[in-house]
């Protein structure tokens, strides 16, 4: 009887804590969305910001965030999946492998501001990339790579050993077994993790202050030459992202409607991050169902 009472009390406490966390999260999201949604319009999403006039938008910053996201994922996903495959299937279980895993764990817990300072010293100054989209993408790759490595490694280790052994027993090479049997089974988890990593990239600000910069040149959206300084597709130009723009508007905005612009931009950022998270779960389920149905 006493054990049942303790179990009920513990269950009630856990439910209350979970409910409180959900309430705080709902209140925070509701506050941001209620303040910001009324300021969002097509003109707001596509027009350029104004320094001292009323009516600025977030068009270039929104485009910069999406372009930076694409650049970062192009670098992060192949490196993370490749390193995860190596750590799971090729690396021997020795002190070196344990040290590499320790380094990955340490990197995953680094504050983003530290990654930004590293990017400033190494990528921006030492390698001479300057304040640019490429510098920001490389810094965010350092920020997101540990997550991709751990996720890929864990996903491959969760594949049933029977499937791996069956492929080897049929005479398949190790790589053929990995690419044809193990990766398809682990793909839903890898895809979900990749989309969640994309959400982290989209909402990051601290690391980009020191790498991508806090200003953007006037972009010519009719010029798609990536070598042109005013081209939107030029990866070597400085680029103020949406998250950095929100920080800048709140800290030093001179426009009369700066609070409204910050509220609208914050709502857009929250909506995009929510879409990334919900999309990751939905897409992961779709891939899993298709793979299950094909079997």
Instruction: Give tens-digit pLDDT for 54-68.
Output: 777 888 898 999 999
Q: From CA 248, how far away is CA 214, in angstroms rounded?
A: 8
Q: What is the model's pLDDT at position 295?
A: 57
pLDDT at 164: 81
Q: What is the pLDDT of residues 25-41, one digit of tens each?
A: 899 888 888 888 888 88
**Which residues of the chain register pLDDT less than 70?**
1, 288, 291-295
> Which pLDDT score is estimated for 8?
86
The three-point CA angle 224-229-234 to 5° equals 55
């Amino acid at each position: 009887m006493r054990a049942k009472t303790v179990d009920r009390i513990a269950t009630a406490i856990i439910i209350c804590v979970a409910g409180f966390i959900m309430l705080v999260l709902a209140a925070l999201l509701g506050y941001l969305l209620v303040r910001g949604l009324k300021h969002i319009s097509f003109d707001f999403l596509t027009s350029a910001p104004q320094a001292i006039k009323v009516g600025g938008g977030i068009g270039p910053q929104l485009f910069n965030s999406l372009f930076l996201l694409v650049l970062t994922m192009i670098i992060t996903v192949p490196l993370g999946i490749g390193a995860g495959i190596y750590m799971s299937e090729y690396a021997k279980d020795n002190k070196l492998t344990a040290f590499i895993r320790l380094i990955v764990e340490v990197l995953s817990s680094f504050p983003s501001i530290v990654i930004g300072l590293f990017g400033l010293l190494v990528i921006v100054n030492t390698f001479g990339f300057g304040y640019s989209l490429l510098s920001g993408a490389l810094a965010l790759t350092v920020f997101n790579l540990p997550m991709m490595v751990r996720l890929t490694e864990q996903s491959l280790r969760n594949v049933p050993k029977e499937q791996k052994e069956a492929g080897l027993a049929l005479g398949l090479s190790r790589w053929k077994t990995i690419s044809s049997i193990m990766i398809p089974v682990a793909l839903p988890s890898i895809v979900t993790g990749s989309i969640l990593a994309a959400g982290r990239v989209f909402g990051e600000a601290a690391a980009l202050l020191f790498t991508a910069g806090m200003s953007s040149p006037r972009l010519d959206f009719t010029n798609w030459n990536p070598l042109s300084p005013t081209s939107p597709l030029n990866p070597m130009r400085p680029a103020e992202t949406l998250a950095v723009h929100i920080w800048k508007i709140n800290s030093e905005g001179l426009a009369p409607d700066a609070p409204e612009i910050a509220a609208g931009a914050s709502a857009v950022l929250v909506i995009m991050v929510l879409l990334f998270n919900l999309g990751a779960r939905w897409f992961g389920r779709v891939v899993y169902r298709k793979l299950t149905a094909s079997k």
